[in-house]
Amino acid sequence: MQFIERIKIRPMKPAVLHILAAGILLVCLSSCSKSAATNTSQNKSKTVLFTQAAWKVQTVALDANKDGIADGDATSLIAGCKLDNTYSFKTDGTGTMDEAALKCNAADPQTLPLSWTFKNNETVLSGSFSFTSGDATIVTLDDNTLVVTYDDNFGTATTYHLIATLKH
């Protein structure tokens, strides 16, 4: 009887070891793929990050003392018909602004062409968009988020320093 019990136990040991080894291998592989996924935006150029999908303004904040920290929400100062616009950029320096559902003027075309360029070693985005015209300093650019700072006067005599956050 002891001989039969030993025979039944022995075949299970290698199986348990194989299962354990497979489990360890799966854990190692999944942790490797997580770190590779985490580093994807680090491996992409700013042009690729900027042009891979359409952007939409999420928030605009006032930076009164220009220290890079939002001092107040200014999103409400941007017309809703501009906040729903999306911006698609191509690697050749062109792109399209789509008016989306809300148009500021019903007679405006649904889409408009735009042009853009990077300046100062890809730290400044230059172009004309409905949320800014001219130069915007890039604070953050990754797979999902674009944060820029720029100046705008909203058609008044006072110029405001703003921080805009755009998302895909």
- How far apart CA 149 and CA 138 sit, in angstroms, is 7
Residue 166: both structure tokens together? 């755009």
Are 62 and 132 in the same domain? yes
Residue keyed to tokens 């405006």: 108
Are 59 and 113 in the same domain? yes
Residue 156: both structure tokens together? 């008044």
Q: Which CATH number does the domain housing residue 123 bear?
A: 2.40.128.540
First CA to last CA distance, the chain? 69
Are 13 and 86 in the same domain? no
E strands in the chain? 55-62, 72-73, 86-89, 94-98, 111-119, 124-129, 132-141, 145-152, 160-167
Are 17 and 94 in the same domain? no
Residues spanned by the domain of 137: 44-167
- How far apart CA 146 and CA 133 sit, in angstroms, is 16
- How far apart CA 52 and CA 141 sit, in angstroms, is 12
Are 19 and 48 in the same domain? no
Structural domains counted in the chain: 2
Output phi, psi for 91, to 5 deg.
-65, -15
Are 25 and 66 in the same domain? no
Quote the pLDDT of residue 166: 95
Global pTM exceeds 0.75: no
- How far apart CA 33 and CA 87 sit, in angstroms, is 31
Per-residue pLDDT of the chain (168 residues; tens, 9 = 90+): 454 444 444 444 444 444 434 444 444 444 444 444 455 677 899 999 999 999 999 999 999 999 999 999 999 978 899 899 999 999 999 999 999 999 999 999 999 999 999 999 999 999 977 666 789 999 999 999 999 999 988 788 988 899 999 999
